[in-house]
Amino acid sequence: MYATQALNQLVPLAKEVDDNKVTPGVLGFLVFAALAVGVWLLMKSMNRHMGKIDFEEAPDPAVSEKAPTPAAAPAKK
Protein backbone atom coordinates (compact mmCIF):
# COMPACT_ATOMS: atom_id res chain seq x y z
CA MET A 1 0.00 0.00 0.00
CA TYR A 2 2.83 2.41 0.80
CA ALA A 3 4.58 1.83 -2.51
CA THR A 4 1.49 2.68 -4.52
CA GLN A 5 0.98 5.86 -2.52
CA ALA A 6 4.58 6.91 -3.17
CA LEU A 7 4.23 6.23 -6.90
CA ASN A 8 1.00 8.22 -7.06
CA GLN A 9 2.78 11.20 -5.52
CA LEU A 10 5.72 10.96 -7.96
CA VAL A 11 3.64 10.71 -11.16
CA PRO A 12 2.70 14.43 -11.20
CA LEU A 13 6.38 15.34 -10.79
CA ALA A 14 7.31 13.35 -13.91
CA LYS A 15 4.81 15.28 -16.01
CA GLU A 16 6.68 18.54 -15.31
CA VAL A 17 9.70 17.34 -17.34
CA ASP A 18 9.68 18.69 -20.88
CA ASP A 19 10.36 15.81 -23.30
CA ASN A 20 11.92 18.19 -25.83
CA LYS A 21 14.67 19.29 -23.43
CA VAL A 22 15.78 15.90 -22.11
CA THR A 23 18.54 14.54 -24.37
CA PRO A 24 21.80 12.70 -23.73
CA GLY A 25 23.66 15.28 -25.79
CA VAL A 26 27.08 15.04 -27.35
CA LEU A 27 28.74 13.91 -24.11
CA GLY A 28 26.34 10.97 -23.85
CA PHE A 29 27.10 9.97 -27.43
CA LEU A 30 30.86 10.21 -26.87
CA VAL A 31 30.67 8.05 -23.74
CA PHE A 32 28.54 5.47 -25.55
CA ALA A 33 30.91 5.47 -28.55
CA ALA A 34 33.95 5.05 -26.27
CA LEU A 35 32.30 2.10 -24.52
CA ALA A 36 31.40 0.52 -27.86
CA VAL A 37 34.98 0.86 -29.14
CA GLY A 38 36.33 -0.56 -25.88
CA VAL A 39 34.05 -3.60 -26.07
CA TRP A 40 35.01 -4.14 -29.71
CA LEU A 41 38.72 -4.05 -28.85
CA LEU A 42 38.23 -6.43 -25.92
CA MET A 43 36.35 -8.90 -28.14
CA LYS A 44 39.04 -8.70 -30.80
CA SER A 45 41.75 -9.36 -28.20
CA MET A 46 39.77 -12.25 -26.69
CA ASN A 47 39.34 -13.90 -30.10
CA ARG A 48 43.07 -13.57 -30.78
CA HIS A 49 43.97 -15.12 -27.42
CA MET A 50 41.42 -17.93 -27.78
CA GLY A 51 42.86 -18.75 -31.20
CA LYS A 52 46.29 -19.32 -29.64
CA ILE A 53 44.99 -22.00 -27.27
CA ASP A 54 45.88 -25.52 -28.38
CA PHE A 55 45.41 -28.40 -25.98
CA GLU A 56 44.48 -32.03 -25.95
CA GLU A 57 41.91 -33.09 -23.41
CA ALA A 58 43.12 -35.75 -21.00
CA PRO A 59 41.22 -39.04 -21.25
CA ASP A 60 38.69 -39.74 -18.53
CA PRO A 61 40.25 -42.21 -16.06
CA ALA A 62 36.91 -43.96 -15.47
CA VAL A 63 36.53 -44.68 -19.18
CA SER A 64 40.12 -45.86 -19.64
CA GLU A 65 39.75 -48.39 -16.80
CA LYS A 66 36.63 -49.98 -18.34
CA ALA A 67 37.74 -50.25 -21.96
CA PRO A 68 41.31 -50.85 -23.09
CA THR A 69 42.69 -48.31 -25.55
CA PRO A 70 42.96 -49.50 -29.16
CA ALA A 71 46.36 -50.10 -30.70
CA ALA A 72 47.80 -47.20 -32.60
CA ALA A 73 47.12 -47.36 -36.31
CA PRO A 74 50.10 -47.08 -38.69
CA ALA A 75 50.70 -43.61 -40.10
CA LYS A 76 49.30 -43.01 -43.60
CA LYS A 77 51.40 -41.29 -46.22
Q: Per residue in 24-54, is it b (16+ CB within 10 Å) or e — as a string?
A: eeeeeeeeeeeeeeeeeeeeeeeeeeeeeee
User: In which region does residue 25 sit, left (phi positive, over 0), alpha (psi from -120 to 50) or beta (all else)?
Assistant: left
Res. 69: pLDDT tops 60: no
- Which residues does 69 contact at the CB level (< 8 Å), separation at least 6? 59
Q: What pLDDT shows up at residue 65? A: 63
Q: Where are the alpha helices (DSSP H) in 15-77?
A: 25-52, 61-66
Proportion of the chain above pLDDT 70, given as a percent:
61
pLDDT, tens digit, for every residue of 6-20? 666 666 655 666 777
